[in-house]
Each structure stands twice: as C-alpha cells, then as structure tokens.
A and B are shown apart, each in its own frame.
Chain A
C-alpha cells in the first residue's frame, strides 16, 4: 500500500526500527543494515568505475537487452527507462503479472474505482475476492475496512464477503463464500446479473450456491457505497484480466442505482509507480520496447519472465533498490543493481550495490491506489552507496548516444 503513517526510531547502534503502524514488509525494509558494499564482477570485488565499464561492455554488444526489476523510486525508474531507451531494451517490473491483470482489463473495458482515503470514510460494504489478505494487503483492515474514524459511516461497522479459498482467516462482520478463484469471472458475472435483477441459470456458480450470491447482490444494491476488491496476485495467473473485467462490470452495473467502486489490492516494489513513470514519459505502459524506433508496447510479447524463460534476452539489467523484486534465477548475462542484502540466486556478471530510497536518499514513490505519490526522506545520514539513478546515469554515459534520427511521424488530426 505504501503507508505513510509509520513511526521509525533509530536505536543506539544507529539501526532504524519501525515502532508503530508497520507491517512485516515495512519492518524488514527499515531494518536493513546500512552496510558499505563492494561492486563485483563475476564474484570478484572491484571499484565502481570498473564495474560500470564491465557493464557497459556487456550492454554494448547486446542485441536483445532488457531492463527489469524496476523496484526503485521515481528517479531510479526514470534513469532505468532512459538507459533502456539508449539500449533499445524491453522494460518490465518484477511484479508486473499482478499489475497487468488490471492493466489489460483497463485497456479493454476501462475501470471504475476509488482511492484508499475515499473508501476509509465512505465504504459500508466490502466484497473481496482473494485469499491471504494479511500477506498481500497487510493493513487493508486496520486502515480502510475498519479505520479508527470515518466521516460518512460507522468506522467499526463495515461488513462484507470474502470470496476465495478458505484460508481459515475471518473477520467480524465478514462472511466467507468458499470458491476457487479460477471461477472469479463467472461469480462476478452472476453477481452482475443478480444486481441487475436477472436470475442466472443453475443452482450454483463457481461452487457458491445461488442464494448466497443473491445475498451478496442485495447487499451491493442496498449499500450506500460498496466496494468490489481483489487481491490481484491470487487471481488465475492465466486469466486475471478476465476476472478484473468481470469485477469492473459488476461495479458499473451496481452504479446504475447506488454507488460502488472497484479496488485492486496488492502490488509491491513500486510496480505501480514504475508503470506510471513509463506511461508519462513514453505514453505506453511497461512491457514495452523503448528506443528502437517508437515505443512498442505488447503486454504478452514483452513479458520479461517469458522472454527470459525463452532465452530471448542476451543482456539483462536488473534494478532492485527497494524490496519486492527477487533477482531472477537465469543464465542470461546480468547486471544487478541491488540494495545490500538482496538475495542472489547466482553470481551475476556485474553486481553494483545501491542505496535504499527513503533510507539513504530522498525521492518519491506511488501508493498502492495510484493517486498519491509520497515523499521519501533520507533517514540515515551516512549514506555509503550511490543512488540507483546515479549508477544508471553513469552507465548510460558509457554507452553510445542515440541511433540515427527517426522522424516524428507526421500526424494530422482533422
């Protein structure tokens, strides 16, 4: 979610600790040690300049490079995209599968949503698809579903339904409807029909009995402001976009008579921010090839995980300054820019440690609902490592400048 209400203390040893309002993810990030760290070329410690020279040599000869990970602040992402533009590289985020469930649905049908702040004050019904809410959206319930105060509803009285596999977790006022999330699209479609006053055929949909679904539909119709939410990472990996389209249709149908909004949950490593920066700078989302002519976006062809699995990348730059971007286990020659302590499945060709945004330097990231960008501040005075943006700019400077001019395509609007 990218919460901005953490209380962070520094202990006598200079170590930062989250003392209030954090989740496990935040606690582990803030507890990272501020270590001096070396650069490495195939496991051998070298100075930064030598590492950059080696990285540039590797990239100069690449025919199909890629820039991935992208778990960084706005400036780190910008520098990574500029490097990709210089290289003609494909760009993608480590956690983009979840992101693209929503994005592909957006590209096809649009969306009707609300932000955290709106929902915390207003939402009186939550229909949530997913499982392991504690793991994927650790502070959903304490910040949004049951906040300490709310402007337009009883803050403690929110009720709702959890639709998904039974993981044992429950919450007051919430009823579980057990189903395999592969069936989420048909369940949501049936709910749309019920909300619209139609009666779907059959006694069960996706394993849920029709009477239970009818109660959900009635609740949505009777709510003043309902929410249809989902943990994107728990949807069917092959058809998450179809599920999100179906959720969106349910939201739009419900809005014919009352208010309702969609809410995508989950996301990590500033994936949303990386996608936004790419969109505003290039006009296209991630999973695009930059710099080899006009930006070329293809959500299927340029999925980095698939490209790596198919051996279609010959040089990979991986950026992991925040957590949330596990370094892929691949034999593709790789240049890794990572925060200290980042687990590495194998020694990359070049490893360059970088500072952690929000601990070692200031910057900005995007919150999970996309509207609010949050400032990051420097909390550790003695930063020993360079910010990712500085390393990436240094790398860019070592590479030949842009390819021959490509004219801006003539366009006429009238």
Chain B
C-alpha cells in the first residue's frame, strides 16, 4: 500500500456509469491501484499528469476474443507464413513474439494494452482444454482475462438431459464446471450440433432431434440459460447460434431469441447469424429483422463479430460449420478436430475480400447491426477476433461507427452490387464518444458482472485510458496518450511503457457438491482424465506468479439484470 495519490488533472471524463459525458473538465485520483475519491486538502500527491482536456475513459473490455487455448495455438502452428511476416524481437521491455491475427501470448497483451484495452475474455474454452487455456492466458501480460466454458455438446450433459435430468441437476453441473475449469461464464456453441456431427449429421436446426440423444437444441439452450439465471451468474448464457454462416440462418437466430422467452442471454458474433436468402444470389442482409428482434428483447445483449477485409483465420468450436466451410480455406489448408466427448475445433484460414459479393455483404451486415440496434448497452464491439479480423482493427471499426462520411467512402469501394443495394448508405447514425464508452467499457462490464471495472467511480480498478480528441477517430483510438493498468502507466502514445500481469477473472456460484457422485464414475468409465486431474486448483494459476484470481460476485436479489 502506498499513501500517495496520482492525480490525472483536467481531463474530459467520459464515464457513462459515473454519469460523466465528457463535457466538463475533471480531476481523477488514483491510489493503490484504484480510483480514489477526491482527497482532503493537503494530502501528498505523488505524481500529477496534466491531461489538458483530453478524453478520459475506463480501460476497454473485449467481451469476445479468441486469444488463447488449444485451437488458437493450433492456428498459430497452421500458419507459419503469418508469423514470418509479423514478428518482433526482444527490446529490453517486450518479449519477442509474432503474429497478427493469431499473435503470440506476450504480443497479445502488449497490443491490447497499447490500444487501451485492459481486459479480454476468451470465449471458447473447452472444459477438457481448460488447463492448457489457463497456462496460455497466464502468459498474456498486463490485461485481465477470463474464459467462458463451452457446454451444450458435452456427452455428460446431453446424456443427462436425454435421461430427463432436472433443472437443479443441470444447475449443479454447470456450477461445478465453472469452478473446475476456473471460468467466468458459459458459452454454448451450435447447441447439439457439434455432437451431432460426430454422429455424421451435417446440420441441426433448433427443433430437430439430436440423432443419438433425441433432444433438441432448443432444450439444451433453455436448460443452460435457465441454469445460469438460477445460479445468479452475472454473465448470462453466451450463445453461438445454430447454422452459423448459412444463408437464411436469421430464422434460427430469431427463433433462438424467442425460445429464450425473456431469459437473459448474450448472442455472440451476431453478424454471422443474420443472413437472409433474398436476391439473385440467395444471400442477403437480415440485419434489420435481427436488429428489430434485439431491440424488442431487453433480455438480450449481443456482440457483432464485424468482418474486416484482409487475411485472417476462422477459429471455432463449431466443427460442423467449419467442416462445411473448409472448401473456402485460403490458403488451402484447414484443421478439424473432435474433442474428448466434450466439443470440437475447426480452423479455416480466410481472406475477406472487399470486392467479393459475400464478404462485402458480411461487412455491411455487421455495420447495419451496430447502427440499427438502438441501445449501446446491449451491443458490444467485437470482430470475434480472429474470425472477422484481428482485434487490432478495433480503432478502424470505431471510426466506421463514428464517422458517416468515412463509412460511406468505404462503402463506395466494396463490391458494387452490395454498395448499390445495402441500406447502409442511408443510415445516418454516428456513434458518440459516450456510446463508444458504453459499448467498449460500461456495457461489457455490466453484462459480465464486473462491478469495479468499466467505470471510473471511486473504488473502481484504476484502469484508465486518456485519448487525444482527434477528428480521425481511428488514429485516436489506436494510440491513446496514456494507459494506466491498476494505477500504473503501461503505455504512452500507443507504445508500451511497462509490463506486468493482470488477473484471471472467475465466478463461483454455490452448488451441491453431490453432483460429483455422478461425475466421478463418468470420468472413470468414459473419459481419459480422472475427475481429480480435470479440476484446476487455484494454486495452478497462482503459483506461476503471473497474476491473481479475481472472483466476480454472483447476483443478489437487488441486482437488476437488464
């Protein structure tokens, strides 16, 4: 503990939770890694940073970014050409590393910090791969991180659901998984579909019975969404809908929203699930219909998964979709794996081309969703890194949202059929700085239950970003003037200034440990790892001395969730 304050003097604080809209000049005090209340006169101020009216926001939070774990690492191995092209040596501060859309662990932390991001969430941790994922993430410096455990294709759950398991048994299992895998949420990926692919089924709709278990994706979805709600886990079920990438999938997306029937849920990379079948090519934007469904459903939050033109790799647990798309691989190599009666993994390198009709339309659909969904508290900025493009393209994306003339210039460059028919050009909306602060900070923090992040009120973690108020919003957000993590300066003018370790964020709802009586024999009879070795002890994370554990409190009756 130190007794000195750092004073950030005279910034325009843009803090939607703290009800500051960036209008007036304010001072901000940091102490012991937290935002402090204005101290009494005469206390010692250790350091004063004059902000000269620059824009101040909390550290940004990436709610959905594939930054570590088995499939990301396989993607690195699949693409030596990417890493040959984008490498960096050690410089006394930075460790060496490489990669652009599958950056190595150290580079990942540096680039996020340099961009003013102070937390990122790995959205697809297979429970069987959890230890590997945490080992990798513990080598990502500076930022806080957390993981969503992937459920909904694991044979234990499917078999129990088929056998008529009660909601309370499912709740105990979900809670047990959250504890055992050190997760902060649960994601369901193509519910039932990944498992169905193992039985050689190539597509599964919301109300189609699973070929072996006879249960429907609808049932898997609602049981899991109910479980998280019952357990009072702040982050609701994180849903990757069925039929990703298939023209006409907007119907299953709208049906999914309807099936949830008011239960809180987060629909991820919505862009990939908002496709219609109109037009000569039977592929069209259904962004307006999907946005309307989201606008009407206050229980739903989304992130977009915007595509950015250029080379990337799509990395997903959804092997059913990825195998179907493997013919599109560019370069022509790809990976699919069936994993541990637990899930799957599919890696398909991809180049999004602005002149290609399909890619241009995907780009427009993403932007339409951002602009047509009205409430910035329920739509978050993502490219589904690396699936739509690397997280380093966020500043570009922010400019697309904030600057209509820039957006329309880009629109004029893409495939002319899309440019001519898209409604994008007619949308006048420009995001305000406050709305950007909501969708990249306050909103994700709220939907993740991070009470002391995403805002700048006294008591918050002192993750603070100071921007020059430049008319070019891309330049502004690419290289913040100052970035503080836990009150320490970590980047200056977009260049790393110091490094360190962030926390692993987890949630630990209460549950009945008796579920282990059912799980133990399951592990022994059907798995290849014993239950005792599956579970990750706190010491496995803490003993590496690469950051602590931060436990998100479960919701209480007085908390509003939307």
Contact A371 B340, CB 8 Å, known A291-B90, A294-B89: yes
Task: Say yes or no: is A36 at the interface (Cβ < 8 Å to chain B).
Answer: no
In the complex, whether B70 has a CB less than 8 A from a CB of chain A is yes
- Using Cβ atoms and an 8 Å threshold, which residues of chain B touch A409? 86-88
Contact B105 A280 (CB under 8 A): yes
Closest-by-CB residue of A relative to B312 is A413
Judge whether B533 and A285 touch: CB under 8 Å. Answer: no
Tell me how many residue pairs across A and B have CB atoms closer than 8 Å.
240
Interface contact B83-A118, CB-CB below 8 Å: no
Identity of the chain A residue whose Cβ is nearest the Cβ of B319 in the assembled complex: A112
A376 smallest CB distance to B (angstroms):
10
A4 contacts B80, CB within 8 Å? Answer: no
Are the CB atoms of B129 and A413 closer together than 8 Å? no
- List the B side residues contacting A414 at CB < 8 Å: 308-310, 393, 396
A327 in the interface, Cβ–Cβ < 8 Å?
A: no
B92 at the interface (CB under 8 A from A): yes
Known contacts A255-B323, A371-B132, A373-B129; 11 additional CB pairs below 8 A are A4-B530, A117-B128, A117-B341, A280-B76, A282-B97, A297-B84, A371-B128, A372-B528, A405-B91, A411-B392, A413-B389
Flag whether A374 is at the interface (Cβ < 8 A): yes
Contact with B along A83-122 (1 / 0, CB 8 A): 0011000000000000000010011111111111110111
- State how many angstroms separate the Cβ of B305 from the closest Cβ of chain A: 16
Query: Would you call B530 and A294 a contact (CB within 8 A)?
Result: no
Set of chain A residues within 8 Å of B90, measured between Cβ atoms: 85-86, 291, 402-403, 406
**B205 — which chain A residues lie within 8 A by C-beta?**
none
Within 8 A of A (CB), among B85-142: 85-107, 110, 126, 128-129, 131-132, 135-136, 139
Using known A-B contacts A4-B530, A370-B70, determine if residue A408 contacts B139 with beta carbons closer than 8 Å. Answer: no
Stretch in B174-182, B237-245, B292-300, B331-339 with 4+ CB within 8 Å of A: B331-339
A259 within 8 A of B: yes
Write the nearest CB–CB distance from B92 to chain A, whole angstroms: 5
- Contacting pair B89 A372 (CB below 8 A): no
- CB neighbours (8 Å) of A118 from chain B are 198, 338-341
Among the interface residues B96, B99, B200, B335, which one has the most CB atoms of the partner chain A within 10 A? B96
Say yes or no: A295-B98 contact (C-beta < 8 A), given A118-B341, A151-B155, A414-B393: yes
Chain B: how many interface residues by the 8 Å CB criterion?
Answer: 85
Q: Bound state CA distance, A318 and B544, in angstroms?
A: 23
B41 at interface by CB-CB < 8 Å: no
Whole-angstrom distance between the Cβ of B137 and the nearest chain A Cβ:
9
A-contact 0/1 string along B520-562, CB 8 Å cutoff:
0000011111100100110110011000000000000000000
B199 to chain A, nearest CB (A): 8
Point out which of A106, A149, A275, A366 has the most chain B C-beta atoms below 10 A from its C-beta.
Answer: A106
Q: Is B48 in contact with chain A by the CB < 8 A criterion?
A: no
Structural contact, B91 and A295, CB atoms closer than 8 A? no
Asked whether, in the complex, the Cβ of B526 is within 8 Å of the Cβ of A375, the reply is: no
A259–B319 alpha-carbon span in the complex (Å): 12
Shortest beta-carbon distance from A316 to chain B in Å: 21
Separation of A115 and B389 alpha carbons in the complex (Å): 29
- CA separation between A290 and B98, bound complex, in Å? 11
Q: Is the CB of B129 within 8 A of A281?
A: no
Query: Whole-angstrom distance between the alpha carbons of A74 and B339 in the complex?
Result: 22
Per-residue CB contact flags for chain A residues 366-395 toward chain B (1 = under 8 Å, else 0) read: 110011111100000000000000000000
Q: How far is the CA of A193 from the CA of B200 in the complex (A)?
A: 21
A225 at the interface (CB under 8 A from B): yes
Q: Which residues of A contact B165 (CB under 8 A)?
A: none
Q: Bound complex: CA of A285 vs CA of B86, how far in Å?
A: 15
User: Is there contact, CB below 8 Å, between A375 and B338?
Assistant: no
Does B77 count as interface, using CB distance less than 8 angstroms? yes
Given contacts A115-B340, A276-B73, A413-B310, contact A110 B86 (CB under 8 A): no
Instruction: Assess whether A281 is in contact with B95, with CB atoms less than 8 Å apart.
Output: yes
B246 within 8 A of A: no
Most B CB contacts (10 A, CB to CB) among A366, A373, A401 go to: A373
Q: Is the CB of A408 within 8 A of B340?
A: no
Q: A4-B533, A85-B90, A118-B198 are in contact. Are A149 and B136 (CB under 8 A)?
A: no
Q: A149–B132 Cα gap in the complex (Å)?
A: 27
Give the residue of A277, A291, A413 whose beta carbon is less than 8 angstroms from that of B89. A291
